[in-house]
Amino acid sequence: MLDKTTITKIQDGLQKLDGLLEYQDKMLEDIMRKNASADPTAPPGVQPDALPGIPPAAPSDTLQPVLPSVLPAAHSDTQPNNAPINTPPAAPPPAAVVSDGAKPGPEGSKAARRDPEKRMLAGAAFYIALVAIVVVALFVNGENRAPHNLFGYSLLSVLSGSMQNEIPKDSLIIVKHVDPSTLQVGDDITYMYSSKASITHQIIAINENYTADGQRGFQTKGTENSVPDQKIVAASNVVGKVVFSIPVVGGVFQFIGDNLLLIGIFAGICVMIAILYNAIRWILRPEKPGGPPKRHAAAGA
């Protein structure tokens, strides 16, 4: 039941509605009369155009009541059957969960495929570099050993500082085997001091007929030494001419060559650890969505 206050408000609203309807009827009559006087030739029963600024009148049977906009809303504990049900808006679909560094869609799948390839390439590059270092170390000799001949070149490590201003100690030098007749004053040459030792010094003078058979002889000197070498270097003892040098690298290769066994054991341990690590990662890898499940042994097998 409605209380008296609500009934009073409804009555006031109905009175206001009657006043609005009467005002609308008067407006329609005024519009019809003005249009009829402005255009007497208009046929009867035809509604004239609305005046500027005034909307055309709607038929009486289509007039919408204004009661809901005039009357206050009555509170009720129950909802009518024909009342619209206010449903909450649909929640947006959840965002795709993407792991760090991955992208959804085709780009993400491509990146996932590239990651194993990058790891494989990085591992292959590491092992290739390791093997290359060991191989080079085998061909690098210190000046206390006879040099190897590798396609007309020898790799040597400088062990002293007699040529420090030009070829620092522990440098790696590349010596090219050349004809002694092409050597000139100022060239840095490597020559055999004994059957197992070599020296790299600079030519300061040349004797064209050092021996009876016309063999050349070379006077050498270390750029950091104050006096020339005591012995003349015969052409037959010359290994070659220094064509390139790299500081520090020679000492590294010399260390590897002197400790090759220990370094080989250490490298083998590192390789085994890397293989074991990758195997554990492969066993404990997470299942891919939509992929076949991992095989597990039967409980009673």
Question: pLDDT tens, 247-294?
Answer: 988 888 888 777 878 877 887 888 889 889 888 888 887 766 655 555
Residue 150 is given by DSSP the state B
> How high is the pLDDT of residue 61?
47
Q: Give the Cα separation of 201 and 261 in Å (integer).
A: 32
Q: Give the Cα separation of 233 and 192 in Å (integer).
A: 9
Residue 235 is given by DSSP the state G
pLDDT band at 229 (very low <50, low <70, confident <90, very high): very high
Q: Give the Cα separation of 301 and 285 in Å (integer).
A: 24
Q: Give the Cα separation of 3 and 14 in Å (integer).
A: 17
Query: Is there a contact between 159 and 141 (Cβ–Cβ < 8 Å)?
Result: no
Report for 59-68, 87-96, 215-224: range of highest mean pLDDT:
215-224
Identify which has the larger pLDDT, 16 or 228: 228
* Whole-prediction pTM: 0.48
The stretch 209-221 carries a mean pLDDT of 87
Helix (H, G, I), strand (E, B) or coil at 47: coil
Residue 62 is given by DSSP the state G
pLDDT by residue (tens digit) across 116-150? 777 778 777 877 877 777 666 666 666 666 677 88
**What torsion, rounded to 10 degrees, do the Cα atoms 284, 285, 289, 293 define?**
-50
Q: Which two tokens stand for residue 50?
A: 């609305």
pLDDT band at 24 (very low <50, low <70, confident <90, very high): confident
At a CB cut-off of 8 Å and minimum separation 6, what does 227 contact? Answer: 221
The full set of domain ranges for the chain reads 4-39+54-68, 137-258
139, containing H or E segment = helix 106-139
| CATH 2.10.109.10 assigned to 137-258 | yes
